[in-house]
Amino acid sequence: MTAVAPLEKTPLERYVAPAKPSLVGLSRVGLSEKLALIGVSEGARKMRAQQIWHWLYVRGAKQFDEMTSVSKELRGALDAHFTLERPEVVAEQISVDGTRKWLLQLPGEHEGERPHQVECVYIPETDRGTLCVSSQVGCTLNCSFCHTGTQRLVRNLTPGEIVGQIMIARDRLDDFIAAKDVPSDSPRLVSNIVMMGMGEPLYNFEAVRDALHVASDGEGISLSRRRITLSTSGVVPNIARTGDEIGCMLAVSLHAVRDDLRNTLVPLNRKYPIKELLEACRNYPGVSNARRITFEYVMLKGVNDSLSDAKELVRLLKGVPAKINLIPFNPWPGSTYECSDWEQIEKFSEIVFNAGYASPVRTPRGRDILAACGQLKSETEKLSARERLALRAMAMTD
Residue 134 DSSP class: -
| Alpha-carbon span 307 to 309, nearest angstrom | 5
Query: With binding defined as CB under 6 A, does residue 134 bind ligand SF4?
Result: no
In the bound state, the residue with its beta carbon closest to ligand SAH is 374
d(CA 163, CA 208): 9
Please state the closest distance from residue 266 (CB atom) to ligand SF4, in A: 6
- Of 111, 119, 120, 296, which residue is the catalytic one? 119
Q: Determine contact, residues 208/162, Cβ cutoff 8 Å.
A: yes
The correct pick among 106, 154, 196, 239 for binding ligand SAH (CB under 6 A) is 196
345 belongs to the binding site for ligand SF4 (CB under 6 A): no
Active site residue 119: yes
Q: Confirm if 165 and 104 have CB atoms less than 8 A apart.
A: yes
Q: Which does 210 bind (CB under 5 to 8 A by kind): ligand SF4, ligand SAH, none?
A: none
Catalytic residue among 8, 146, 373, 387: 373
The alpha carbon of 387 is separated from its chain's Cα centroid by a whole number of angstroms, namely 26
Binding to ligand SAH by CB under 6 A, coded x per residue (else -) over 133-152, reads ----------x-xx------
> Per rule CB under 6 A, is residue 296 in the interface with ligand SAH?
yes
Nearest alpha-carbon partner for 104 in 93, 119, 114: 119
Stretch that binds ligand SAH, among 41-49, 59-67, 115-123, 324-332 (CB under 6 A): 324-332
Active site residue 161: no
Sequence-distant (≥ 6) Cβ neighbours of residue 291 within 8 angstroms: 226, 249, 321
Per-residue CA distances from 228 to 55, 61, 149, 196, 216 (Å): 23, 24, 23, 11, 8
* Range in contact with ligand SAH (rule: CB under 6 A) among 66-74, 76-84, 231-239, 301-309: 231-239
* CA–CA dist 223, 326 (Å, integer): 26
* Interface mask toward ligand SAH for 371-390; x: CB under 6 A: --xxx---------------
Of 193 and 298, CB closest to ligand SAH? 298
| Binding of residue 298 to ligand SAH (CB under 6 A) | yes
Partner whose footprint covers residue 142, from ligand SAH, ligand SF4, none (CB < 5 to 8 Å by kind):
ligand SF4
**DSSP character at residue 38:** T
Contact flag: residue 304 with ligand SAH (CB under 6 A): no
Write the DSSP assignment of 220-257 as a string of letters: TT---GGGEEEEES--GGGHHHIIIII--EEEEE---S
CB of 118 to ligand SAH, least distance (A): 12
Q: Does 232 bind ligand SAH (CB under 6 A)?
A: yes
- Minimal CA–CA distance to 312: which of 257, 367, 356, 271? 257
Task: Tell whether residue 200 is a contact of ligand SF4 (CB under 6 A).
Answer: yes
Residues facing residue 295 across a β-bridge: 252, 324
Residues with a known catalytic role: 119, 373
Residues in contact with ligand SF4 by the rule CB under 6 A: 139, 141-143, 146, 148-149, 199-200, 233, 253
